[in-house]
Structure 1
Amino acid sequence: MGLTAQAAWWFLPAVIPIAIYVSWSDMSAMKITNKAVIALIIAYAILGLFAFPFQTYLWQWTHLAVMLVVGIMLNAGGVMGAGDAKFIAAASPMIMIADLRLIIVLLAAALIGAYVTHRLAMHSALRRMVPEWESWKTGKRFPMGFPLSMTLLFYLLIVATYR
């Protein structure tokens, strides 16, 4: 069984500002802060108690542990940044395994959309407005916090709206 609309509504008020902050901080400084990751974990710790039956709430914590280990390994292999790995782990308790297909589709769409948006913005007036942003300067590096946070946000919005 996938995430319910009711559960998604519980998480959305906390996830919206965190997702916006993560997108902004990763584009401006190429960092997903521990503060944002901790806020996401705290949001799940509190809101998950209302969103899920207690047994499901406890089980979802295993997602964090598994994804943290996978993320650490991917970070050690140079595949992703540490902030990306921590964000994925912190977001994972809010995602149901039954919704994995939806998450993959959303992540693919968010990656494409974020990449195109970022590259267009890099060659627009926005760059003149915020020339100090690190994501303009990094060349081959891309602020993955933007598509990762949007994936979580769109997942919750879609589930809240259509289930």
Structure 2
Amino acid sequence: MAITASSAWWFLPFVLPLCFYVAFTDLSRMKITNQTVIVLALVFVVIGPFAMPSLDVYLWRLAQLAIMLILGILLNGIGAMGAGDAKFIAAAAPYVALPDLRLIMALLAASLLAAFVTHRIARATGLRNLAPHWASWDQGKKFPMGLALGMALALYLILGALKGA
């Protein structure tokens, strides 16, 4: 992994609760709040200078945020993804070391599959009664991507803390 264990440990205590919150709000309300993605971005802005190995790495990671925000706005504009998903991806982008792009894509694919199957099973069974008022149960084909996105970022940082450079 290209992310350093030190960087991952710096970010993990702040980012992990945000990932859980994103998953919860997307499941319960089908919404990733602006406040949450702003806090996620601000954590990087504030903690990043201490966690990154150099200023140029920090600045390139901030550029990743801007690039992914523009791409997310375009994808949202054509209806390929929700606005909250696009903003979360942008806010999460600086946490990912660019050489780990294949790893984060694999984690996202696995998280998406696990989240989708779990959500559909829970929705179709009595497990749904544990949270009967969640908006995601009644969305037809729509799926709360925040569950998978939060899981992927959390897993990436956990793996980085345990196996990072």
Residue 132 (structure 1) aligns with: 133
Structure 1 length-normalised TM: 0.97
Percent identity of equivalent pairs: 52
- In structure 1, give the amino acid aligned to 2:21: Y
Structure 1 stretch displaced more, 127-136 or 64-73? 127-136
Number of the residue aligned with 1:111: 112
Distance in 1 between residues matched to 2:161 and 2:91, nearest whole Å: 20
Q: Is 1:76 the equivalent of 2:77? A: yes
For 2:45, the equivalent position in structure 1 comes to 45
Structure 1 stretches lacking a partner, 5+ long: none
Q: How far off its partner does 1:124 sit? A: 3.1
Kindly tell me the number of residue pairs found equivalent between the two proteins: 163
CA distance in 2, matches of 1:158, 1:137: 34
Runs of 4+ in 1 over 3 A off after TM superposition: none
Q: CA deviation at 1:122?
A: 1.1
Q: Which amino acid aligns with 1:142?
A: F
For 1:32, the aligned partner's letter is I
Matched, 1:92 2:90: no
Shift of 1:21: 0.2
**Letter in structure 1 aligned against 2:86:** A
Query: Mind listing any 5+ residue stretches in structure 2 that lack a counterpart?
Result: none
- For normalisation by structure 2, the TM-score amounts to 0.96
Q: How far apart are 1:126 and its partner, in Å?
A: 3.0
The SS at the match of 2:144 is coil
Match for 2:159: what amino acid?
A: I
Task: Please report how far the alpha carbon of residue 109 of structure 1 lies from its aligned counterpart in structure 2 after TM superposition.
Answer: 0.3
State the partner residue of 2:145: 144
